[in-house]
A = this chain, B = another copy of it.
Amino acid sequence: MNLRIPGPTPVPENVLKIMSKQMINHRGREFGQLLVDITDNLKTLFQTKNDIIIYTCSGTGGMEAAVVNTLSPKDKVLAVSIGVFGERFAQIAETYGADVTRLNFDYGTAADPDAVSKALEKDPQIKAVLLTHNETSTGVTNDLAALSAAVKKYDKLLLVDAISSLGCMDLQVDGWRCDVVVTGSQKGWMSPPGVAMLSFSPKAWEAIEQSKMPKFYFDAKKAKSYLEKNQTPWTPVISTFYALGVSLDMMVKEGLDSIFARHTKMAERTRAGIKSLGLTLFADPACASSTITSVKVPDDVDGVKLVKIMEDKYDTIIAGGQVDLTGKIFRVGHLGYVAEADIDKVIDALRLTLPQAKSTG
């Protein structure tokens, strides 16, 4: 099977192997050391000195943890959205009573830092900005450095969904002054799902002290107090921690520059292959993601049928479009553990599938 969705992503054999390790005491020394090692490696890969908190949940759970720990009901929040996951971040904040102003950009394009500046200029009451680094639903990467500069010019709290970017493309958590950054084990981290990983800056901890949104499972202060004794407050998903113990070591050994270059190369290979088939890329090339490529479904092709034939006949799992983009685009993931041959197989399978997926047929 060629699993080419934007997560869960394929896991290397040596990482899969450790998943079969027997359970241990999550309050014992062996787990404590594993937690320390994972946290240290994550700091390197997040390019940060900030605290890292690890939750047993999906990426969406991690987004909720970012919101409920730092905000209070009625807080004014600017939600910058370029797709489904930007909208999800806004909805989480609204669910917990934040007063959310949306700044939406067309699907397939990136957020404009000037527009963010203007929105913050216009409403000085805004306390925090929600940003997506890489929008998984459209295959667009925002210019987080420029967006952060706009946010920090007004000294706002910056919460970043980097679920499908961190560990794959440059994200300088400290350099770009990101207060909370969220990612998930099943994306670029070459591990199975089950874990969300968040960094919290000193400014985030100040916000946490003021925060009045209710939280128990996701309580970052409690997590931090347990981290001081090398534990998690609640029983962690031990096997996914085993996996991260191996995969993060691999990543630190490879080094960030090599990881970033590898992802750029895979993205270029994917886009070149797509174009060679006469297909049109959905995302503006200026902001096309190095982890996910989105492709327009041609007018005479049934997008849902295309995804199904790719799986049934060619054992190649790609993703369709989500929500408003259902049937209009398809998406190819190339993050984490992926080789050139995996990309070439997708292109070959697409070449064979396209004539069989006509919308009239």
Contacts and interface: CB of A to CB of B under 8 A. Distances in A.
Contact of A216 (B17, B28, B91): B91
Contacts of A213: 214
Copies in the complex: 2
A306 to B, nearest CB: 15
Interface in A9-35: 9-11, 16-17, 19-28
Interface string A228-245: 000001111111100000
A193 B58 contact: no
A215 B97 CA distance: 11
A13 to B, nearest CB: 9
A23 B57 contact: no
B28 A317 contact: yes
A16 to B, nearest CB: 5
B64 A216 contact: yes
Interface in A182-224: 184, 186, 192-194, 213-218
Contact of A20 (B16, B28, B58): B16
Contacts of A58: 56, 217, 234-236
A234 B60 contact: yes
B192 A239 contact: yes
A184 B236 CA distance: 12
Interface in A229-281: 233-240
Given A10-B23, A237-B240, 12 more contacts: A5-B27, A9-B23, A20-B20, A25-B317, A26-B193, A56-B61, A57-B234, A60-B233, A64-B217, A95-B215, A192-B238, A192-B239
Interface of A: 1, 3, 5, 7-11, 16-17, 19-28, 56-61, 64, 91-92, 95-97, 184, 186, 192-194, 213-218, 233-240, 311, 317
13 contacts: A1-B22, A11-B22, A20-B20, A26-B193, A28-B317, A56-B56, A56-B57, A56-B194, A57-B217, A96-B214, A184-B235, A194-B240, A213-B214
